[in-house]
Amino acid sequence: MADRVLRGSRLGAVSYENERGQAPAARVRVDFTCPQGHAFDVVFAEEADLPGVWDCPTCGAAAQAVGGAAPAAKASKPARTHWDMLLERRSVSDLQVLLDERLAEIRGDSGPPRRRSA
Ligand SMILES: [Zn+2]
């Protein structure tokens, strides 16, 4: 009777793909040691970026990777400042002209005033 039970499954919950004959993804084991002295290891996919720090499963402290498994810090692009962006649009001599115009306007020795008289 038990072998006549109709078995079902939820849609999307189960993969019917056969794992036979498929090689598992290449893995890397990284050892970590936390400040409390707890040692543990974590398995990562070979192509993954290996973290240099992992939370200790025992005490929760940040554990350091052992044996140089920590990746070199990524070379980061220097941040583009507002000044850099401004220099991409205008040359320093253009800016000097604008600055002179504004200063003249502020000092009141240029052309007609911009303020409307009511
Ligand atoms: Zn720990």
C-alpha 38 to ligand 1 mean position (Å): 5
Residue 94 has pLDDT above 90, yes or no: yes
pLDDT of residue 80: 87
C-alpha 99 to ligand 1 mean position (Å): 60
Structure tokens at 34: 């936390």
pLDDT of residue 49: 86
pLDDT of residue 26: 85
Residue 97 has pLDDT above 80, yes or no: yes
Residue 50 has pLDDT above 90, yes or no: no
C-alpha 66 to ligand 1 mean position (Å): 14
Q: Which of 67-71, 73-77, 93-97 has the highest mean pLDDT?
A: 93-97
Q: Report d(CA 61, CA 36) in Å as an integer.
A: 8
Stretch 33-41: mean pLDDT, rounded?
92
